[in-house]
């Protein structure tokens, strides 16, 4: 199984579980191999059997959590990862999985706690700090976010994601020269990383280097055409450079790829309003408000259109 020879692995694990029906490890390994082949229904059955046979065995809950996460069932996944960390508080992987799932659900404090526990378990691994930095960023705690990514780099300066996260954070904070430097460091490690190119383009845009900014977003899109943030950032740069037709096409592509991206929708609405297309802009603001009725940029934009209409 470690060599991903799944079919013979499944055959052997199945035979082991036939010979010893009460062997929790045999059922757990069989479930893991089946899950690796995307046979989730049978894998769930095997993992639940393993958990029933040995209620103190944490690995069945880890595999169940991973299966549920792959099935887009984050609440069920979270419950399994919680059970896994309760049964084995020293499991680094279980805490990372718990943190990732909690992050996806927006349970940021819970995610931060899980990542910090993982960092205590393995003090040399940068992954917990990479992820906890993202959580702090989502909470608006930029100082803590930047410090976490810097700590990750101290532990291992060969992980591009640390530099990408740090560069994006610094760009958002307006600290543009260090942001550009860190994003370029990421590209030295992984020259074809779309997020690094897009982040670099965004930082260059904020510094006013429109030509380079547009070039970097196009590099990101060439590498990964479905990367919606690059299309949105390209649209912003194109609008600023005086190419509204291309900007509109890029905004529309961003929304086609990620219809639930409220940042793209509001920015597109702002763009339409700036072009005097007030009815289309109002439609986009209202679409954003359907997803989040309290979204302040959309509320402000719609109010501004209403006020202009009555004057």
| pLDDT tens readout for residues 7-51 | 999 999 999 999 999 999 999 999 999 999 999 999 999 999 999
Beta-carbon contacts of 171 under 8 Å, excluding residues fewer than 6 positions away, are 179, 183, 199, 202, 203, 206
**Beta-carbon-side half-sphere exposure of residue 298 (alpha carbons within 13 Å):** 21
- The closest alpha carbon to 28, from 2, 69, 59, 52, belongs to 59
State the greatest distance between any 2 C-alpha atoms of the chain, in Å, as a whole number.
83
Q: Does residue 151 surpass a pLDDT of 90? A: yes
CB 266 within 8 A of CB 288: yes
Q: Does residue 237 surpass a pLDDT of 80? A: yes
Whole-number pLDDT of residue 263: 95
Percent of the chain with pLDDT strictly greater than 70: 100
CB 38 within 8 A of CB 71: no
pTM of the model: 0.86
Kindly indicate the confidence band of residue 307, based on its pLDDT and cuts at 50, 70 and 90: confident
Q: Does domain 1-21+32-85 have CATH number 1.25.40.10?
A: yes
Whole-number pLDDT of residue 309: 73
Q: Does residue 311 surpass a pLDDT of 70? A: no
Phi then psi for 293, rounded to 5 degrees? -60, -15
The total number of residues shown for the chain amounts to 311
Kindly indicate the confidence band of residue 308, based on its pLDDT and cuts at 50, 70 and 90: confident
């Amino acid at each position: 199984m470690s060599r991903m020879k799944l079919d013979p692995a499944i055959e052997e694990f199945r035979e082991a579980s036939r010979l010893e029906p009460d062997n929790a490890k045999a059922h757990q390994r069989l479930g893991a191999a089946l899950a690796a082949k995307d046979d989730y229904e049978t894998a769930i059955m095997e993992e639940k059997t393993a958990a029933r046979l040995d209620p103190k065995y944490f690995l069945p809950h880890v595999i169940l959590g991973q299966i549920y996460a792959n099935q887009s069932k984050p609440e069920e996944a979270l419950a399994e990862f919680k059970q896994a960390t309760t049964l084995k508080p020293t499991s680094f992987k279980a805490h990372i999985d718990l943190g990732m799932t909690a992050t996806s659900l927006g349970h940021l404090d819970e995610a931060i706690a899980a990542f910090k526990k993982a960092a205590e378990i393995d003090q040399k691994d940068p992954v917990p700090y990479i992820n906890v930095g993202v959580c702090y960023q989502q909470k608006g705690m930029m100082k803590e976010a930047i410090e976490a990514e810097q700590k990750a780099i101290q532990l291992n300066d060969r992980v591009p994601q640390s530099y990408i996260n740090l560069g994006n954070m610094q760009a958002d904070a307006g600290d543009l020269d260090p942001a550009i430097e860190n994003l370029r460091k990421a590209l030295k490690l992984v020259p074809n990383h779309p997020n690094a190119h897009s982040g670099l383009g965004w930082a260059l845009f904020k510094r006013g280097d429109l030509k380079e900014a547009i070039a970097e977003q196009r590099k990101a899109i060439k590498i990964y055409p479905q990367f919606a943030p690059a299309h949105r950032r390209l649209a912003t740069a194109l609008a600023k450079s005086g190419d509204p037709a291309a900007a509109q096409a890029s905004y529309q592509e961003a929304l086609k790829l990620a219809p639930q991206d409220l940042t793209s929708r509001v920015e597109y609405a702002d763009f339409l309003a700036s072009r005097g297309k007030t009815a289309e802009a109002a439609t986009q603001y209202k679409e954003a408000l359907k997803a989040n009725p309290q979204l302040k940029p959309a509320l402000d934009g719609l109010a501004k259109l209403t006020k202009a209409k009555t004057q």
